[in-house]
A and B are shown apart, each in its own frame.
Chain A
C-alpha cells in the first residue's frame, strides 16, 4: 500500500469510528430539543423542525429534575472532597512513611481489589439500615469515603517523591502534618486532580448502590431518577433525551476540560501497576 492511500484509509477509519462514538451523543441533544412525538417518525429526523426547550421545562416543572440535579451535585462534591482527602493521606503514608505492618496491610488491600463491590452490598444495606442511614445522603456518602483504588493510585505517584524533600523539611523542624500540607500536597497536585476527577465522575455516574440505598424519589440521584422516569415514560423519547442530556452533559464537559488528568490516571493505574 502506498503511503498516501494508507493515510487516507487510517484517517477514514478513525473518522468512521469517531462518528459512531460521538454521533449518538449529538443526536441526543438534537432530539431533546424536538417537540413531543417529533422523533417518533420514520426515517428518524436529524434536527428539530422548530427547536424548543419545552422538554427541559417539563422536566424541571413536573418531574423534579431540579431536585435530582441538586442531590447529585451535593453527593458528588461531598464524596469527592472527603474521599480524596482520606485517600491522599493514606496513599502518601503507604508510599513514604514507616509504620508497623505497612507492606502487609498494603498487600491485603491490593488483594481485596478482586472482590466486586456488589458482594458487600446486601450486608452494607442492613448495616446502614441499622445506623438509620438508608434513604439518606449518608447512605451514599459513608461507604464511599475511602477507596482502595484511590489509595493505590496516590501511592504509585507518591513513590516518586524524593525522600530528600521530606528529610529537609524534617530538619527544618516541621511536624508531619505541616510537611504533608505544605510540601507533599503541592507535589502531589497532578494526582490529586486525577483522583478528584475519577471520584467525582464515578460518584455522579454510579447507579446500583444509590438505586439500592435511596428509596424515596426526593433523594434520587440523576441516574436513578432517569432510570425510573424512563421506565414510566417509555414513549416520551424527546423528554427522556432531555433527561439524558442533563444527566450526562455535566460529566462530559468536566471531562473535556480536564481530560489530560483523566487519561494520565488510566495509564498510571494500569500500565505501571
Chain B
C-alpha cells in the first residue's frame, strides 16, 4: 500500500495537535523563563529572560503555597472518597438482586454529563446557610447549621462533597465494567472451597480489579488536581482564600493580572507535580504486582 495516502488521513489532525498543543506546551516552558507581563503584552521590547526567577518567586508567594495546599487537600480527601462511592455503587449495581439496574445506572451517572457551571449554581444554593436543603437536613437531624461556603473550615469540604456528587458516576461505570468482566466460575470455585462473601471479595474481586483501580485512581488524581470551575463559581476562591486552587491562582495570575510568565511557571509546576504523582503510582503498581 502506498503510504502517501495515509498521510492525507493523519496530517490534518496531527497538524492541529502540533500547532495548537505541542507548540504551546513548549512555548509555556520558554515563557515561564521570562518576565512576560502587561507591558510585554503591549510591546515585546519589554520582554526579558529571567531564568528561573518566576519559579523562585512562586516559592516565596504565600498564596501559591496556600493554593497548593488547598489543591492537595481537595485531592487527598476528594479522590479516595470519590472512588469509594464509585466502588460502592458499582458493587450494588453489580448485585443480582437489583430490580432496575439500567434505571439506577442512568440516574447515578446523570451528574457526570451535566454542565459543571450549572450544577455548581444549584449546589451553591443547596449549601445556602439559611435556605439550603443541606442545613435543613442537618436541622432535622438535630445538628447545628453550617455556613458551608462562608466558613473557611467548611468551604473546601463543601466543594469536595459537590465534586464527589458530580464525578463518581464516571468511575462507577468503569468499575462496573471491570466487575462484569470477572468470570462467574471464579466465584463458583471460591464458593465450593467454602469462601464467604467477604473472602470472595478479598481474594477474587479485589486482585482482579486491582489494575483497573490503579488506572482509575491515576486518572482521577490527575483530574482532581485540575480543580478550577468549582471555586470559580461557588466561592471565588474564598472565604479567606481557603478554596483558591493552583489553577485558580494561575488563572488570576495570568488573565487577571497578566503576569503571563509567572502563570506559565505555575502551570508547569502543576504539570510536573501531576507527572511525579502519576509516575509514583505506576511504579508502586508495578512493584506491588511483582511482589
Contact = CB atoms under 8 A, between A and B. Distances in A.
A230 B12 contact: no
A121 B126 CA distance: 33
Interface string A1-45: 001001100110111011011101101100100000001111110
B121 A146 contact: no
Contact of B275 (A15, A99, A114, A255): A114
Given A100-B3, A127-B24, A207 B229 contact: yes
A230 B121 contact: yes
Given A18-B104, A270-B219, A93 B278 contact: no
User: Which of B122, B260, B263 gathers the greatest number of chain A CB atoms within 10 Å?
Assistant: B122
Contacts of B254: 121-122, 125
B250 interface: yes
A233 B191 CA distance: 60
A272 B120 CA distance: 32
Interface in A71-106: 86-87, 89-90, 92-94, 97-100, 102, 105
B226 to A, nearest CB: 6
Given A119-B25, A121-B267, A244-B121, A86 B95 contact: no
* Chain A residues touching B, majority SS: helix
Contacts of A64: none
A93 B270 CA distance: 34
Nearest to A41: B131
A248 B119 contact: yes
A207 B25 contact: no
Closest 10 CB pairs of A and B: A123-B27, A93-B9, A90-B13, A120-B24, A18-B107, A97-B6, A176-B5, A146-B13, A99-B6, A244-B118
B143 interface: no
B213 to A, nearest CB: 12
A188 interface: no
B253 to A, nearest CB: 9
B7 interface: yes
Given A93-B9, A227-B233, A146 B165 contact: no
A177 B9 CA distance: 9
B118 A263 contact: no
A14 B119 CA distance: 21
Contact of B126 (A6, A15, A24): A24
Contacts of B122: 24-25, 27-28, 241, 244
A231 B236 contact: yes
B39 to A, nearest CB: 14
A122 B177 contact: no
Given A93-B9, A99-B3, A266-B173, A255 B113 contact: yes
B263 A122 contact: yes
User: Which residue among A3, A105, A176 has the maximum number of chain B CB atoms within 10 Å of its CB?
Assistant: A176
Given A20-B165, A119-B28, A98 B6 contact: yes
Contacts of B6: 93, 97-99, 102, 176
Interface in A114-164: 114-127, 142-143, 145-148, 151
Interface of A: 3, 6-7, 10-11, 13-15, 17-18, 20-22, 24-25, 27-28, 31, 39-44, 86-87, 89-90, 92-94, 97-100, 102, 105, 109, 112, 114-127, 142-143, 145-148, 151, 170, 175-177, 180, 201, 204-205, 207-208, 211-212, 222-224, 226-227, 230-231, 237, 240-241, 243-245, 247-248, 251-252, 255-256, 259, 262-263, 266-267, 270-271
B10 A99 contact: yes
A3 B25 CA distance: 56
B289 interface: no
A112 B228 CA distance: 21
Interface in B1-31: 1-3, 5-10, 12-14, 16-17, 20-25, 27-28, 31
B12 A86 contact: yes
Contacts of A94: 10
A116 B28 contact: no
B158 interface: no
A137 to B, nearest CB: 15
B70 interface: no
Contact of A42 (B2, B89, B136): B136
A208 B107 CA distance: 27
B98 to A, nearest CB: 6
Interface in B91-150: 92-93, 95, 97-99, 103-104, 106-111, 113-119, 121-126, 130-133, 136
Contacts of A226: 115, 117-118, 121
Nearest to B219: A270
Contacts of B169: 21
B1 A98 contact: yes
Contact of B17 (A15, A146, A208): A146
B20 A124 contact: yes
Contact of A230 (B2, B130, B233): B233
B247 A42 contact: no
